[in-house]
Chains A and B, each alone.
Chain A
Amino acid sequence: KNEVEQSPQNLTAQEGEFITINCSYSVGISALHWLQQHPGGGIVSLFMLSSGKKKHGRLIATINIQEKHSSLHITASHPRDSAVYICAVSGYALNFGKGTSLLVTP
C-alpha cells in the first residue's frame, strides 16, 4: 500500500498569509489528488495532477514525481479557506492521507 504522509497535521495562519501544505508518498503513482473538506463535512475535489503545476484562483498545486512529493499552496489566505485539506494518490485504489486541518484567523 502506498503510504501517504501529510504535513503539517494542523496549521493556523492569519488572514493574508501564504500557506503551504505538503504531501509525500512512498510508491510511484500516475495521479495525485488534493481534496478539501469543510467543517460541514462535504468533500470537494480541488486538483488532480500527474506532473508540474496547476492553479485555480488562489490555490496552486505542484508535484515532483521524482521526489514523490506534492505541495498545495494558498496565496492571500482568507478565513473561508479554513478546512481540512486531504492528499490522495492513485494506485489499486486511492490512498488517502490523514489530512491537514487549516484555520485562518481574521
Chain B
Amino acid sequence: NAGVTQTPKFQVLKTGQSMTLQCAQDMNHNSMYWYRQDPGMGLRLIYYSASEGTTDKGEVPNGYNVSRLNKREFSLRLESAAPSQTSVYFCASSERWGGNSPLHFGNGTRLTVT
C-alpha cells in the first residue's frame, strides 16, 4: 500500500521555467491538498480538491494552478517559476474535507528556483 506518492523529490528551475508536480493516492480518499513549507512558517495551503471534479484556492494560490485528473491524482503546476516559489511542497489526502479525518502526506518535493 503506497499511500501518497509524490514526484519529483528534488527539482531546480530557472526563473520563468514551468513544471508540474505529480501526486497520486491509492486510499480512495475524496480530498487532496497541496501545501508549501517554508522555514519559520507553518504549512500553508496552496490549493485543495474537496472531492473529485472540484478544486479551490487555499491561502497562497498565486503563481500556481492545479488539476484533479481523477479521484487518485492531483497535480500542481508552476507556469512561470519565481525565486519566491523556492520551497518544500507536500501533497496530502484525506477521506473527508474539513480537517475531521486524518491527513496522509507524500514525501515532499524540494524545489529551488534560481
| Contacting pair B104 A45 (CB below 8 A) | yes
A96 part of interface (Cβ distance < 8 Å): yes
| Contacting pair A88 B99 (CB below 8 A) | yes
Measured between beta carbons, the chain B residues less than 8 angstroms from A29 are 99
Partner of B58, one of A43, A93, A98: A93
Q: Write the chain A residue with the least CB distance to B50.
A: A93
Measured between beta carbons, the chain B residues less than 8 angstroms from A33 are 99, 102-103
| Contacting pair A90 B107 (CB below 8 A) | no
Contacts A41-B88, A96-B43 hold; do A89 and B99 have CB atoms under 8 A apart?
A: yes
* Interface bracket on B: 20 to 34
* Interface bracket on A: 20 to 34
| Contacting pair A35 B40 (CB below 8 A) | no
| Contacting pair A31 B88 (CB below 8 A) | no
| Residue positions of A touching B, CB distance < 8 A | 4, 29-31, 33, 35, 41-45, 48, 86, 88-91, 93-99
Q: How far is the CB of A46 from chain B (nearest CB, A)?
A: 9
Q: Write the chain B residue with the least CB distance to A90.
A: B99
| Contacting pair B100 A44 (CB below 8 A) | no
Q: How far is the CB of A90 from chain B (nearest CB, A)?
A: 3
